[in-house]
Amino acid sequence: MKIKRRELPVALAAGVTAMGETTESAKWGAWKFSELAAKRKATGRPWLQFFDNATMFAGVYAIEAGGEDKQQPHQQDEMYYVVSGSAKFRAGEEEMAAEAGSILFVKAGVAHRFHSVTQPLEVLVFFTKAKSS
């Protein structure tokens, strides 16, 4: 049986609104990063949360070249997926390159930040709502 491939709209699921915000009843959701990035940019803010349910939330985060990452340690574990750009990333005493394709994990409470942003950085960020032990 051949399965037809088709483009998904920003969201296509019970419990997901047309702009992708999720309600507690959502069973699944689909988003296009380009649409989320455009929506974030239109707000003029570096952070746009687009998903939230009982166990996790997610958003798009951006820092311009030469910009400053002003985030503070979070109470939740988090994971970053760098979609585009180039920077350095420091977590605790460790430092590494952060570039397109990098996946970074930070345990709750650990001081971390992007710095030395040489190309505009766009990042998908996923937070757990579970308490870290």
pLDDT attached to residue 5 = 35
pTM: 0.80
Q: Is the pLDDT at 26 greater than 70, yes or no?
A: yes
Residue 88 and residue 113: Cα distance in Å, rounded?
8
Q: Is the pLDDT at 16 greater than 90, yes or no?
A: no
Q: What is the pLDDT of residues 83-130, one digit of tens each?
A: 999 999 999 999 999 999 999 999 999 999 999 999 999 999 999 997
pLDDT attached to residue 6 = 35
Residue 104 and residue 44: Cα distance in Å, rounded?
25
Q: Are 10 and 31 in contact (CB under 8 A)?
A: yes
pLDDT attached to residue 1 = 39
Q: Is the pLDDT at 21 greater than 70, yes or no?
A: no
CATH superfamily of 45-128: Jelly Rolls (2.60.120.10)
Q: What is the pLDDT of residues 55-95, one digit of tens each?
A: 999 999 999 999 999 999 989 999 999 999 999 999 999 99
Phi and psi, residue 108, nearest 5°: -50, 135
pLDDT attached to residue 28 = 84
Cα 37 to the chain's mean position, in Å? 10
Q: What is the pLDDT of residues 28-60, one digit of tens each?
A: 889 999 999 999 999 999 999 999 988 999 999
- The encoded tokens of residue 25 equal 């009843």
